[in-house]
């Protein structure tokens, strides 16, 4: 179906002669322009130019790609983003991690005034009464604007920014697949870590009850070895709560921990 734009030599585009309300339709390779006099009668008709719809499609795709990048950056672990741009001790309790202020002047915060809500993947500082997602945390921690935060995070976390180059796009897709695999592994790691923590915590409580029931020398001889296990368990539980990822992984791979959890 032919789409015709009606133009006046003096007034420019004056209307659209039927087909579609939109002058550009995906799949069209060219548009016919009709010139008319003031009376509206056509003087001549000529094919003026070829409109590359692919250019418009590429721009639309590029906008979608940018949104995909932003969504991916927001989905980054808020804990990892905090450790990279702020760093410092964390005190885990359930799905929360208590931290110091993550703003530029946060060094003056001697007590944990901020919280990472791990389940919601968001941060909030009660000292500054502000926070947000991973991008917002980066902006506030580094004192930069949104655009600069996106570029910085993309570079630091291996997220490829949109490009017209096919090879770069393919590399970006491969990187996205790799990140998906990594996130799946991280999810499994956290699930296994939580299971181990619950088992060790239950074992610790059982040992504490057993040692608390010691009243005679015979009782002490029977359960005395538990006195050596209890402090080790305390240390292991503390690592699982506040240790680095490397330390926590070492705990999960420990033969002793496997034995305690009956992982055979």
Chain-centre distance for alpha carbon 22: 38
Instruction: Please tell me the predicted confidence (pLDDT) of residue 149.
Output: 93
Instruction: Please tell me the predicted confidence (pLDDT) of residue 48.
Output: 37
**Residue 32: which of 43, 10, 17 has the closest Cα?**
17
Q: How far apart are CA 119 and CA 200, in angstroms?
A: 23
Residues of the chain with pLDDT under 70: 1-64, 104-109, 163-166, 168-169, 263-264
Tokens in use for 35?
Answer: 């010139």
pTM for the full predicted model: 0.43
104 SS3 class? coil
Place of tokens 């130019």: 49
Place of tokens 């500082």: 125
Q: Is 166 exposed, middle or buried (0-12, 13-18, 19+ CB in 10 A)?
A: exposed
Tokens in use for 119?
Answer: 């389940």
């Amino acid at each position: 179906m032919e789409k015709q734009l009606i133009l006046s030599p003096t007034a420019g585009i004056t209307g659209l002669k039927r087909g579609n309300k939109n002058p550009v339709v995906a799949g069209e390779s060219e548009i016919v322009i009709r010139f008319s006099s003031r009376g509206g009668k056509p003087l001549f008709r000529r094919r003026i130019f070829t409109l590359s719809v692919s250019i418009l499609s590429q721009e639309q795709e590029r906008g979608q790609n940018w949104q995909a990048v932003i969504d991916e950056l927001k989905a980054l672990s808020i804990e990892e983003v905090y450790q990279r741009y702020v760093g410092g001790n964390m005190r885990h309790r359930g799905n929360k991690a208590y931290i110091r202020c993550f703003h530029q002047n946060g060094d003056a915060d001697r007590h944990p005034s901020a919280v990472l809500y791990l389940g919601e993947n968001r941060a909030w500082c009660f000292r500054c009464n502000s926070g947000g997602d991973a991008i917002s945390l980066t902006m506030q921690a580094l004192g930069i604007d949104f655009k600069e935060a996106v570029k910085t995070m993309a570079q630091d976390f291996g997220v490829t920014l949109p490009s017209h180059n096919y090879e770069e796009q393919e590399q970006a897709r491969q990187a996205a697949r790799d990140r998906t695999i990594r996130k799946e592994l991280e999810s499994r790691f956290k699930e296994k870590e939580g299971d181990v923590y619950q088992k060790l915590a239950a074992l610790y409580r059982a040992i504490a009850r057993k040692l608390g029931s010691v009243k005679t020398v015979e009782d002490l001889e029977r359960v005395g070895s538990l006195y050596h296990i209890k402090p080790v368990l305390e240390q292991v539980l503390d690592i699982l709560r506040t240790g680095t990822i490397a330390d926590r992984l070492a705990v999960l791979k420990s033969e002793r921990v496997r034995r305690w959890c009956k992982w055979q």
